[in-house]
Structure 1
Amino acid sequence: MPRKELNTKIFIDGGDPDETRAIIKSLGFLDGQTTNPSFVSKNPRAQEKMDRGETFTEPELLEFYKGIVQEISSLIPDGSVSIEVYADENTTAEEMLEQGRTMNSWIPNAHIKLPSSKEGIRAAEQAVKEGMRVNMTLCFSLKQAAAVYSATRGAKRGQVFISPFVGRLDDRGEDGMSFIANLLKLYKKGDGHVMVLTASVRHDAHLMEALHLGSDIITAKLETLDEWAKKGSPLPGEAYAYDPHGLKPLPYEDLDLEADWTSFDLTHPLTTQGMEKFTKDWNKLLGK
C-alpha cells in the first residue's frame, strides 16, 4: 500500500528488532514501535539468558533495554519508539520522571510510556513541560483520557499519545472498539494535541475498525500486521461494518477537557492489573 493512502500511523508492538525488520519488509513502511517490559522479557536474547538459569542486574537490564530501542530506532529513524518506565503502585511521579529523563536520552525519537494513573499523569504533566514526548499507556476510561488531555495542555501535536488497550476491555466482555469511538468523539472537542493510539489490537477486525474510526495511530503485533499486509493492506470501504460479537458497548461521557485533571476519578482495575503484569515480567528478569 502506498503510505500516502493511509491517514492512520501504523506501529508494531514488540521488543524484538528482527520483528521490526520483518514488518518493514512485509508492509513496505512502518511509522513506529511500542515496547514494554513484557515484550522485553520475551526478546529472544532475554529468553536465552533465562533458559540458562541466568538473570540480569538492574544496570544490565537497563542497558539491554537501551540496546533494543537503539537498534529499533535505527530502523525507523523518522518514526517513534515508545519506552516504558518501571511503575508499580508505589512508584512516585518523581521516580517515573527520573527514569523517563534517562530513557529519553537513549534515542532522539523516544516517547516515554507512563501509566494513566494519578502518579503517571502527574509525571506526564511535568514531562511535557520539559519537552519530553509521552505515551500514556493502560488507559481504560474516558475520565483517564480527559485527565491526560487536561494535564498536558500546551503540548504540541505528536508530543502526547494515549494508548487505550482494546483487547483487555474485550476480555471482560466490554467492546473495546466502542471505547475508541467514544474517546475520539471526546477529543474532537479539544485542540488535537493528544493523539489516540489504539493498542492491545488482537486481530484483523480490531485493526480494520480502528482504521474505520480514524484512530490517529494503531499498534499491533507482527502476526496481525503481517496478516493485513498479506491481504494487500485493505482499508474499510463504504459497506464495512464492525461486528462486536455481543460485547457490551461502553457508554459515552461528555466530560470537560478544561477541568483540573486532579478532579477526575482515575482508578480502573485494568490499569492496576496492567501495571502489576508489567512489573512482574520486569522483576522476573531481575530474579525477583
Structure 2
Amino acid sequence: MKIFLDTANLDTIRMYNDMGLVDGITTNPSLLAKEGGDPQKTMEEISRIIKGDVSLEVVSTDYDGMMEEGRQLRKYGDNVIVKCPMTGEGLKACKSLTAEGIPVNITLVFSPNQALLAAKAGAKYVSPFIGRLDDIGHTGMDLIKEIKQIFGNYDFKTQILVASIRHPQHVVDAGKIGADVVTVPAVVLGKMLNHTLTDKGLKAFLDDWEKLKSESPSVEV
C-alpha cells in the first residue's frame, strides 16, 4: 500500500521524503491557504521534490474552468494528478482530461455509487473521505470495503485512495482491506512512526551501554 502525505508544507514534505516514506502528495485549496505565500510556487516546488504522484486540485466548478485549470496544473510536472470534484461537471472533465493523457483524482467521494461513476469516467484515483463519514455516525471503512469489492468484480483500474484519515488505525484497516493508497496528515504519519515502547527500549539500550563503558574503559564507541 502506498502512503501519500496530505499537506502543502514544504518542510514537512522534505523531512518525510528524506526518510523514504512518501510515495506521493495530495493537496487541496485549504491546505495551500494554510501555508500562505504563492500557491503556484508551492505546487511547483512540491512537484519537483516528490517523484511520485502529486494531486493538485482545481477550484473551478464548471467543465470549461476545470479543463483550463487542469491543463495548467499539469504543466508543473508529469507527476501531477488533477483533482476534480465528484460532480457531473467533474466527471465530464475527468473523461476529457484522461483522454488528453492527464490523469485525474476524483475527490470528495462518499458513496460506492460515486466511486463506481468515477471509475467509469476513467479516473486514475478515487478519494473516499472516511473520516468525514465517521463524523456523521457512519463507518467510513465500510465504504472502502464496498468500493474494493465493486472494483474487483469488474477489474476497474481506478485506484482507491483513502482520504480523511484521522488516526493510525485507519491506515491499518485500509491496509487489511487492500486499499491502493492512504493519504495521511503529517500528525498521523508521526504517530505511525513513533511508539513509547520504542523510545523506552532505545533508552534502556543506551543506558546499559554507558554503564558498560564506565565499567570497562577498554570498550570503544
TM-score (norm 1): 0.65
**Runs in 1 of length 4+ with deviation above 6 angstroms?**
none
Q: 2:128 aligns with which of 164, 188, 200?
A: 164
What does 1:137-148 align with in structure 2 at a 5 Å threshold?
137-148=107-118
What does 1:18-29 align with in structure 2 at a 5 Å threshold?
18-25=11-18, 27-29=19-21
Residue 214 of structure 2 is matched in structure 1 by: none
- One-letter code aligned to 1:75: I
- One-letter code aligned to 2:23: D
Residue 219 of structure 1 is matched in structure 2 by: 183
Find out whether 1:108 has 2:78 as its counterpart: yes
Residue 121 of structure 1 is matched in structure 2 by: 91
What does 1:1-288 align with in structure 2 at a 5 Å threshold?
8-25=1-18, 27-43=19-35, 45-46=36-37, 64-77=38-51, 79-87=52-60, 91-152=61-122, 160-231=124-195
Counterpart CA distance in 1 for 2:74 and 2:112 is 28
Structure 1 residue 231: Cα displacement: 4.0
Structure 1 residue 74: Cα displacement: 2.2
1:6-46 residue CA offsets vs partner (Å, 9 max, x unmatched) = xx010000111111112224x53310000000000111x44
Counterpart CA distance in 1 for 2:104 and 2:168 is 27
Structure 1 residue 192: Cα displacement: 3.4
- One-letter code aligned to 1:68: T
Structure 1 residue 100: Cα displacement: 0.5
1:172-195 residue CA offsets vs partner (Å, 9 max, x unmatched) = 000001111111111101223100
Counterpart CA distance in 2 for 1:168 and 1:108 is 31
- One-letter code aligned to 2:95: E
Higher helix fraction: Structure 1 or Structure 2? Answer: 2
Query: Contact 1:23–1:226 (CA<8 Å) still a contact in 2?
Result: no
Instruction: Give the total of aligned pairs.
Output: 196
Give unpaired runs (5+ residues) of structure 1.
1-7, 47-63, 153-158, 233-288
Counterpart CA distance in 2 for 1:37 and 1:217 is 21
- One-letter code aligned to 1:35: T
- One-letter code aligned to 1:208: V
Counterpart CA distance in 1 for 2:14 and 2:76 is 20
- One-letter code aligned to 2:47: S
3-state SS of paired residue (2:125): strand
Give unpaired runs (5+ residues) of structure 2.
197-221
Counterpart CA distance in 2 for 1:133 and 1:168 is 25
TM-score (norm 2): 0.84
3-state SS of paired residue (2:108): strand
Give the percent of matched residue pairs that are identical in Structure 1 and Structure 2. Answer: 36
Task: Answer 1 or 2: higher relative contact order, Cα 8 Å, separation at least 6.
Answer: 1
